[in-house]
Amino acid sequence: MDERIERIHTAADYVREQIGGATPLVGIVLGSGLGKLADMIEDPIVIPYKTVPGFPVSTAVGHKGNYIFGKLGGKQVLAMQGRFHYYEGYPMDLVTISIRVMKLLGVQYLFVSNAAGGTNPDFKVGDLMIIKDHINLLPNPLIGPNMDEFGPRFPDMTCAYDQNLIAKAEEVADSMGIKLQKGVYFGSTGPTYETPAEVRFFTLVGADAVGMSTVPEVIVARHCGITVFGMSCITNISNKDTVAKVLNDGDDVVMQANAAADRMSEIFKQIIASL
């Protein structure tokens, strides 16, 4: 058997045992500073990544490194408190292993979140943005021999982010009196923040926000037929000129995401309740 697939099955068998053979409906990826949603999960079972066979260890700032299984909005969920990034040095099949593990456990919906820099001039720090589409400048995680048991060689990406879930998010936010932005997420490798020339370039080609994650997970989820909803927390405004008033800083990103985490968590919870 393909060694990558063997590793996914071994990890999934372990997690399945820890959650008593349950079938979570929803997988959630909590980005930098957004881990608080895990506190809303009822009857939680915490599974540190370091105990899962074959899993990498999440090293990024603001990322705890646990799977949390339990109930949110009346549904069984498996949340990732912290994710793996390409910039940490892992190959793409490890960056995305947790998503394929979710698939084997029966997950049908993936809710992804991230901290991102706002490139759209209308955005403000603290805004939440529904991801309506993405542009990928990270290596594609499906490069290499196709894992046929998960999906096709050439998966379609026309509807990467589910229209029904986007409509539901807008309805939920409206009822809560929260204004949501909606836009295109640009995925780059990091770990450097963007130069002003890059920010102008990304804006020109249609980006509204830029970050260093999410896209690999979404591609792998869509490859195996998981329905995706994505949200970015705008933690900083990307600098478009070289006389920057505010320099980008990882700790500040985590702090701003933390401040927005309650709003995002409540929106996720209400959409999940409606599934």
For ligand HPA, the binding residues (CB under 6 A) are: 115-117, 190, 193-194, 210-212, 235-236, 238, 248, 253
Residue 55 or 193 having the CB closest to ligand HPA: 193
Taking the C-alpha atoms of residue 48 and residue 42, their distance in angstroms, rounded to an integer, is: 17
Number of C-beta neighbours around residue 242 at 10 A? 8
Least distance CB 244 / ligand HPA (angstroms): 12
Nearer to ligand HPA, 66 or 238 (CB): 238
Q: 135: Cβ–Cβ under 8 A, 6 or more apart, which residues? A: 184, 185, 186, 187, 202, 205, 206, 207
Q: CB of residue 35 vs ligand HPA: minimum separation in angstroms?
A: 15
- 161 vs 193, which CB is nearer to ligand HPA? 193
CB of 187 to ligand HPA, least distance (A): 9
User: What's the rounded Cα separation, in Å, for the pair 91 and 177?
Assistant: 41
Two structure tokens written together for 7: 């590793």
Q: Closest separation between CB of residue 236 and ligand HPA, Å?
A: 5
Shortest distance in whole angstroms from residue 85 CB to ligand HPA: 10
Name the nearest CA neighbour of 53 among 106, 16, 92, 2: 16
Nearest of 162, 163, 140 to residue 153 by alpha carbon: 140
Q: Which is nearer to ligand HPA, 111 or 123 (CB)?
A: 123
Nearest residue to ligand HPA, scored by beta-carbon proximity: 117
C-beta closer to ligand HPA: residue 49 or 185? 185
Q: Are strands 181-187 and 75-81 parallel, antiparallel or unpaired?
A: unpaired
